[in-house]
Structure 1
Amino acid sequence: MHVVVTGGSSGIGLEVARIYVRRGANVSLIARNLDQLELAARDLSSTLAAGQGTVAIQSADISIEAEISAAFAACESRFGPCDILIASAGMVEPGRFDEQAGSVFAQQINVNLLGTTNAVRAAYAGMRARGRGKIMIVSSGAALIGIPGYSAYCASKSALAGFAEALRTEAAMHGVSVSICFPPDTDTPQFVNELPKRPPEARALMGAAPPWSAVSVAEKIVVATDRGRAKLYFGFSITMLGLFGPLIKPFVFAWFRPRHKR
């Protein structure tokens, strides 16, 4: 089995890769930073026992279609066709819309939305031709409710939900499952960098719940991928937003707005 993980050099992607490698899968990690990829590969390889899987790395900017296509070709040349894609790569840069540079806004759209679709495109054609394969798209709980200071992130991650739903209906006719998950705050290097920039309004809306561990999130993602679940929510709040968002959010915002007028 060949598993490709984008954003696999750290955080959720790295922990997903660890699970599959320990199962005996061949795992390809794709990320932009080659130094971090090499560290991740050494980390995974150092924990493997005899008979467990193999790790390979490819550096690519997922927002550039030619780079991700070339990276996939190299991965499949080594390990064979991609059986499972975990599209985990993403970025977040908090900032109020009127204060954030357009280039920073666009970068989040390019990485989170177009980067994910680039990765899916690279894997999907082969899966469709073979009549099998699994795709898991890692979105965010921020896709389910508008968070002040996260306009670009919310836009890019919520767009993934529409993309996954549309592709799922196409892919099901060809034996390919398409899933999407909505993780909560997760203890990753990206979260550590993001948290000091989080506006107070966002902190108030999101609450003070501690972040989940990357291991816990990864374990649920792998189970959901195995089962071909259409959607995976995490925790009570995100599950309620996912299932009953149109009913819940008017009450949330009615409570929030009078308390946080600028």
Structure 2
Amino acid sequence: MHVIVTGGSSGIGLEVSRLYASRGARVTLIARDRPKLEVARDDLLVTAKSAPDDIQIASADVGDEAAIRDAVQQAESRLGPCDVLIACAGIVEPAVFEDLSSERFNEQIRINLLGTVNAVRSVYTGMKHRGQGRIMIVSSGAGLIGIHGYSAYCASKAALTGFAEALAQEGQAHGITVGICFPPDTQTPQLERELPKRPIEAQRLMGKAGAWSAEAVARKIVRAIDRRSGKLYFGFSLAALGLFGGVIKPVLFWWYRRRA
């Protein structure tokens, strides 16, 4: 089994890669920062059941369609066709809309939405020709509800739901399973960078629930891929938003306005 993970140099992507390497899978990590990728690969090799040559890295910006296509082609030439893609690469830059430059807004759309599309496009045709494949798109709990100070991030992550649902309909006739998951705050380097910028208004809406560990999130993602699940929510609150958001969100926003 060849597993390709974008955003694989740290956080959820790295922990998902670790789980597959512990099973002896062939794993390719893709991210922008090659030095971080090299550290991640060395980290995986400590506990991996995979052979050293079966854990590869490729430096590419998922927002660059040609770059991610070339990275996937090189990965498949080394380790064989991609059986599982986990599209985990993403960025977040919280700021109220009027303070968020168009460059910073567009960058989140480019990486989070179009970067996911580019990664999927790089493996989809091959999966279709082989009649099998699994794709897991990593969205966010912020893709389920609008949050003060996260207009770009919420837009980019919410759009992934429509993409995943449509692609799942197209892929099912060709043996391709497409899933999407909505992780909560997760203990990652990215969260450490985000929290000092998080507006107090966002914190009021999101509550004080502690962040999940990247390992716990990764375990649930891998189980969902094993089960070919279409959607994966984390915890009661996000499951309620995902399943009954049309009823819950008007009440939640009413409560938030009164509190604010």
Match of 2:46 in 1: 46
After superposition, the C-alpha distances for 1:18-60 in whole angstroms (9 at most, x for unaligned) are 0000101000000000011000000001223576983100000
Q: Give the counterpart letter for 1:8 in structure 2.
A: G
Match of 1:143 in 2: 143
Q: Give the counterpart letter for 1:191 in structure 2.
A: L
Match of 1:31 in 2: 31
Change (3 A) 1:51 1:149: same
Match of 2:153 in 1: 153
Say if 2:210 is the partner of 1:238: no
Change (3 A) 1:127 1:209: same
Change (3 A) 1:36 1:131: same
For residues 241 and 63 of structure 1, the distance between their equivalents in structure 2, rounded to whole angstroms, comes to 29
For residues 235 and 123 of structure 1, the distance between their equivalents in structure 2, rounded to whole angstroms, comes to 31
State whether residues 93 and 194 of structure 1, in contact with CA within 8 Å, keep that contact through their aligned partners in structure 2: yes
For residues 50 and 170 of structure 2, the distance between their equivalents in structure 1, rounded to whole angstroms, comes to 40
The total of aligned residue pairs comes to: 260
For residues 52 and 65 of structure 1, the distance between their equivalents in structure 2, rounded to whole angstroms, comes to 28
Change (3 A) 1:34 1:50: closer
Match of 2:247 in 1: 247
TM-score, structure 2 normalization:
0.98
SS at match of 1:146: coil
State whether residues 23 and 53 of structure 1, in contact with CA within 8 Å, keep that contact through their aligned partners in structure 2: no
Which stretches in structure 2 are left out of the alignment for 5+ residues? none
Change (3 A) 1:254 1:83: same
Once the two structures are TM-superposed, the CA of residue 259 in structure 1 deviates from its matched residue by 2.6
For residues 114 and 234 of structure 1, the distance between their equivalents in structure 2, rounded to whole angstroms, comes to 24
After superposition, the C-alpha distances for 1:241-262 in whole angstroms (9 at most, x for unaligned) are 00000000000000111332xx
Aligned-pair Cα RMSD in Å? 1.1
State whether residues 54 and 79 of structure 2, in contact with CA within 8 Å, keep that contact through their aligned partners in structure 1: no
State whether residues 24 and 48 of structure 2, in contact with CA within 8 Å, keep that contact through their aligned partners in structure 1: no
Which stretches in structure 1 are left out of the alignment for 5+ residues? none
For residues 72 and 50 of structure 2, the distance between their equivalents in structure 1, rounded to whole angstroms, comes to 27
Match of 2:192 in 1: 192
SS at match of 2:97: coil
The residue correspondences of 1:113-152 to structure 2 (distance < 5 A) are 113-152=113-152
Question: What stretches of structure 1 move > 3 A for 4+ residues in a row?
Answer: 49-53
